[in-house]
Structure 1
Amino acid sequence: MSVIDLGAYGPDFTADPYPYYAKLRASGPVHEILTPEGIPAWLIVGYEEARAALADPRFVKNTSAVVDFVPLEVEVIGPNLLGVDPPDHTRLRKLVAGEFTGRRVEALRPRVVQLAGELLDAMAPAGRADLVDAFAFPLPITVICELLGVPAADRDSFRAWSNELVAPTGALTEREAVEGFGGYLDELIEDRRAAGPADDLLSALIATRAEDGDRLSLPELRALVYLLLIAGHETTVNLIANTVRALLRHPDQLAALRADFSLLDGAIEEGLRYDGPVEAATYRFAVEDVPVGGAVVPAGSVVLVGLAAGARDPGRFPDPDRFDIRRDPRGHLAFGHGIHYCLGAPLARLEGKIAIRSLLERFPRLELDPTGGPLEWLPGLLIRGTRRLPVTW
């Protein structure tokens, strides 16, 4: 099996990776690759193989299980849920899962509706906007910041840090971004501890205790808040923007949704499947030789589970390149699968539904701005989306 250099595909792959994934999948569900950053890895592109890999304990998240290397964010900030394995993962997830109940998420609905309305009010007079900057970004960032109790004045700072970590612009080095974020979180947590109990998620996480008295250490708390702030907005920004872009590029589907908002749940789920916000899951590492789809992934290998690739597998989703909001997209992997399934999925779905319905109701003539220029796609294999989405109404 030859090594596939994804970087050699150039900007066409970044803009539309799906034909490349289809070609790879036609010759097998797993391939040895070089990532666009030049990292050797095994990429899983078949749906069934991807789903199985996400739940396979032989593919671990902790780098130290296979190499003597500590990632910069773990060194500076601490180990978060996405980078640990049982029993550590089991313990951390148990400690925090109680703060992500359906009741807590549903209680946010009125505030999300209010925020969406305020953002659309601000947009309306201009007749055109960058939907990412004016709406898709500020909605989820405000929600997660208010949920955690992060001051509004600090949001621009950590947006800059977050951007460099998930889709680098070169404005900061990775170390500058991680250290800036880490120092900020230390101050935030210390301020919240000193202020005493409050009705926000960070205060609840500081105070949370298991029945046996276990609680989050400072590095664990810092790492969890770091993960929530990044994952709590970067993914939802692109859930909203990618789904709107798909609707605007498929006028028949947009018209169907406008005519019947009972299709909204299906539109969100199809958006997640068709062009979801996470292209490939974060790195896993093989702790032993693992057979996958006729190949063997060697012990010590970096493994990338292609969520976007699996979502277009015709063996699971017939006619997968068709965007169809009436499709049954159940089983898509946009939020992962297994023990690392996204804690924030209910909140992302809530925000996505409110955002898209509010936008379409407010602007009946919404369309892509023909004068907006070419789209700039986010680099790398983690977050799928564009830096801007010019629209007009």
Structure 2
Amino acid sequence: MTLPADFTLNPYPELDRRRALAPVTPVELMPGASGWLVTGHALGRTLPSDARLTRQAPDGTHRPFGPADIGPTLLELDPPGHTRLRRLVQRAFTGRRVAGLRPAVEGIAAGLLADLSHADEADLISRYALPLPIAVISDLMGVPVEERETVRRSTRDLLTGEGGPRDARERTETAMALTRAYLRDLVARKRAHPGEDLTSGAYAAEDLDLDGAAVAKGEQIFISLHAANRDPAVFPGPATLDITRDPNPHLAFGHGVHHCRAPPWPGWKARSPSPP
């Protein structure tokens, strides 16, 4: 079951349609990346911690996006490899270190909101939700201000796509190659001049029955957090923006060993005061 050409522009109608059919459906995201799409909240929460799934491809080489020589990345590793790398990352996220980042995060958020205050209407994704984390991570990694537009463009191409899933593959591979080259250069510069900065698909490890879907060993499983966070069985009126929603068991930070390492940041950003 292929995805519609406009899926990357607005995935929710297709995700809602699939969830209504079954919580797990066959899918082809793009050539070379087919498998099973999970759209239900229950499986979206439990599968990331399921030992019957692995992040590593059966042949050790196939990856759904990008050239094989880029990785594996932290998101593509299982323990103990994942544990070793995650331990290195955790050193940069001590309580004191994270608390020290808060003024910078709130300052970036306030600046973006100030820009929005001059517009009658604006796209919150392109003008706030996307540039905010990119700016914060750029600060964290010590990316020079004059180079951040390059990082923003590459990140945009990695996270979004136009022209449908098939065209998105080429954009993603190009963006990954450019990002890899840039990060190698940045790391080389940081080694020469150190500073204080810091430089979701899985595979079935065995035959599985996922809510009636017969998944064979080695087949790929794509967990859609977008769909899980709009599951009407968990979130009444899921398409409605409700900042007072309670309880709100969203999966935006993932779950299990791959959950986001610094979840306080979005809370800081959300609580940043709007400019006058």
| TM-score when normalising by structure 2 | 0.82
Question: Take 1:15 and 1:126, find their aligned partners in 2: how far apart are those partners?
Answer: 23
- Given candidates 52, 73, 77, the residue that maps to 1:80 is 73
Distance 1:124 1:335 in 2: 29
The amino acid of 1:200's aligned partner reads: D
Give 1:79's aligned amino acid.
Answer: P
Residue 25 of structure 2 corresponds to residue 31 of structure 1: yes
Q: Write the distance in 2 (CA, Å) between the matches of 1:174 and 1:17.
A: 18
Matched, 1:100 2:93: yes
**Contact residue 142 and residue 198 of structure 2 kept, 8 A:** yes
RMSD over aligned Cα atoms: 3.0
Structure with the greater alpha carbon radius of gyration? 1
Does 2:51 correspond to 1:54? no
The whole-number CA distance in structure 2 between the counterparts of 1:104 and 1:134 is 27
Unaligned runs of 5+ in 2: none
Q: What is the CA distance between 1:71 and its match in structure 2?
A: 6.5
Secondary structure class of the residue paired with 1:82: helix
Q: Share of identical aligned residues, percent?
A: 38
Structure 1 residues not aligned, in runs of 5+: 203-281, 363-393
Letter in 2 for 1:6: L
Work out which structure has the larger RCO, using CA pairs closer than 8 Å and 6 or more positions apart in sequence.
2
Residue 332 in structure 1 maps to residue 240 in structure 2? no
SS in 1 for 2:47: helix
Higher helix residue share: 1
- Separation in 2, partners of 1:131, 1:31: 31
Q: Of the candidates 176, 182, 185, which is equivalent to residue 184 of structure 1?
A: 182
Distance in 2 separating the partners of 1:301 and 1:190: 38
In structure 1, give the amino acid aligned to 2:265: L
CA change 1:18–1:131 in 2 (3 A) is closer
Q: 1:37 to 1:344 in 2, by over 3 A?
A: farther
Change (3 A) 1:186 1:298: same
Aligned CA distance change for structure 1 residues 110 and 297 (closer, same or farther; 3 Å): same
Counterpart mapping for 1:118-137 below 5 A: 118-122=111-115, 124=117, 131-132=124-125, 134-137=127-130
Note closer, same or farther for the CA distance 1:95–1:168 as it changes in structure 2 (3 Å cut). same
* Matching residue within 282, 285, 291 for 2:209: 291
Report how far residue 302 of structure 1 moved.
1.2
